[in-house]
């Protein structure tokens, strides 16, 4: 099947299987492409190629993932500590709280890990964390 890629400044912005002829403003650069071409790919010298991130871009992306993950999980730690301070029963067991702290520390340590920034080796959250809701 013929696909079409919208190219702006040498970067694929979007792809479609609908022939763009006569459908869009003529100044838009649509190029025929294979099904493998995805947004973000490069278009240079009439050829498509997958964009390769630099090492620094990969490091920055992994740090951003880590920062978001830390921010998204800290409320669980804060709730547990607040429950303890108030003398209330805690939502988490002591074992879960220890697992949470270990995970948060693993996130903090992630940029110094030997495998960083390979996302296949990211710290893995304990399974029960997905069950926690604000």
Q: Where are the domains of the chain?
A: 3-49, 55-131
**pLDDT recorded at residue 26:** 80
Three state DSSP letters for the chain:
CCEEEEEECCEEEEEECCCCCCCCCCCCEEEEECCCCCCCCEEECCEEECCCCCHHHHHHHHHHHHHHHHHHHHHHHHHHHHHHHCCCCCCCCHHHHHHHHHHHHHHHHHHHCCCCCCHHHCCCCCHHHHHCCC
Distance separating alpha carbons of residues 30 and 64, to the nearest angstrom: 33
Q: What's the start-to-end Cα distance of the chain, in Å?
A: 46
Distance separating alpha carbons of residues 22 and 4, to the nearest angstrom: 13
pLDDT in tens, 55-74: 898 899 899 999 999 999 99
Angle between helices 94-109 and 55-85 (to 10 degrees): 150
Distance separating alpha carbons of residues 112 and 62, to the nearest angstrom: 12
Residues of the chain with pLDDT under 70: none
Within 10 A of 105 (CB to CB), how many other CB atoms are there? 11
Distance separating alpha carbons of residues 107 and 125, to the nearest angstrom: 9
What is the share, in percent, of the chain residues with pLDDT greater than 70? 100
Question: pTM for the full model?
Answer: 0.65
């Amino acid at each position: 099947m013929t696909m079409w890629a919208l190219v702006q400044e040498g970067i694929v912005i979007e792809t479609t299987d609908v022939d763009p002829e006569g459908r869009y403003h003529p100044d838009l650069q649509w190029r025929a492409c294979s099904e493998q071409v995805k947004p973000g790919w490069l278009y240079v010298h009439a050829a498509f190629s997958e964009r390769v991130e630099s090492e620094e871009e990969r490091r920055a992306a992994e740090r951003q993932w880590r920062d978001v993950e830390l921010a998204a999980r800290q409320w669980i730690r804060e709730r547990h500590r607040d429950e303890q301070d108030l003398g209330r029963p805690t939502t988490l067991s002591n074992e879960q709280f220890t697992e949470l702290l270990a995970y948060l520390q693993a996130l903090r340590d992630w940029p110094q890990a030997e495998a960083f920034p390979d996302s296949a080796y990211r710290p893995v959250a304990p399974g029960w964390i997905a069950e926690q809701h604000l």
